[in-house]
Amino acid sequence: MSRIGKAPVNVPDGVTVTAADGVVKVKGPKGELEQEILGAIECKVEDGQVILERKNEEKPTKAKHGLYRALINNMVEGVSKGFVIKQELIGVGYRAKASGQRLELALGYSHPIVIELPAEIKVSAEAAKGQAPTIILESHDKQLIGQVAAKIRSFRKPEPYKGKGIRFAGEQIRRKAGKAAGK
């Protein structure tokens, strides 16, 4: 029995949710999202709440019950508040420059890395003196922003010896001791 799936999703003011033909559409001040619901899950919108119910008790249906509830909750939260991911560039000479939908990274390679970001994501780069350069990603789509953040991080993952690389703000990297001094 899914405890998460049974909990209703509260719809805040200014957000409209419509469910028809296995597709849930959420529209709010930050944007518009839609999610297709597959399988034996039924979605109802009643009294400012979204309720998901299972048509049967088969294992795949139970597995999707909580999943779809979480996805719809993320959609409602995204179009009302939005999501922000901050990443820090730790390393000598690591820089980030944002212009429009392009992000240019200098990560110690022989060439700069240029990424063209989707239109749904707003990107900015900050560089304060004495602090690591920071990349700030903002979007209403949690799946998309997470995927883009993971792609950016994959260019230079934090390494355990010096801690250099791209990390999420507040992330703790498990550090390892280097080689013991030779005899």
Sheet containing strand 95-99, strands side by side:
95-99, 102-106, 113-116
Identify the domain boundary among 43, 62, 80.
Answer: 80
Give per-residue pLDDT as tens, 59-114.
888 889 999 999 999 999 999 999 999 999 999 999 999 999 999 999 999 999 99
Q: How far apart are the first and last CA of the chain?
A: 61
Give 182's strand partners. none
Q: Is residue 177 part of a domain?
A: no
The CATH number of the domain holding residue 16 is: 3.90.930.12
Q: Which domain holds residue 44?
A: 3-80
pLDDT at 1 over 90: no
Alpha-carbon distance of 160 to 109, in angstroms, equals 19
> Do 87 and 164 have their domain in common?
yes
Phi, psi (5° rounding) for residue 74? -65, -35
Three-state secondary-structure class, residue 5: helix
* pTM of the predicted model as reported, rounded to 2 decimal places: 0.88
| Overall domain count for the chain | 2
Identify the domain boundary among 80, 111, 146.
Answer: 80
> Do 74 and 87 have their domain in common?
no
Give per-residue pLDDT as tens, 28-53.
999 999 999 987 899 999 999 999 99
> Do 125 and 55 have their domain in common?
no
> Do 164 and 88 have their domain in common?
yes
Q: Is residue 130 part of a domain?
A: yes
> Do 158 and 88 have their domain in common?
yes
Q: Is residue 182 part of a domain?
A: no
> Do 69 and 121 have their domain in common?
no
Identify the domain boundary among 55, 80, 105.
Answer: 80
Structure tokens at 7: 């909990």
Q: What's the pLDDT band for 178 if we cut at 50, 70, 90?
A: confident
Which pLDDT belongs to residue 39?
78
Are 141 and 33 in contact, with CB atoms under 8 Å apart?
A: yes
What average pLDDT does the structure give for the chain? Answer: 92
Angle between helices 142-154 and 59-80 (to 10 degrees): 90
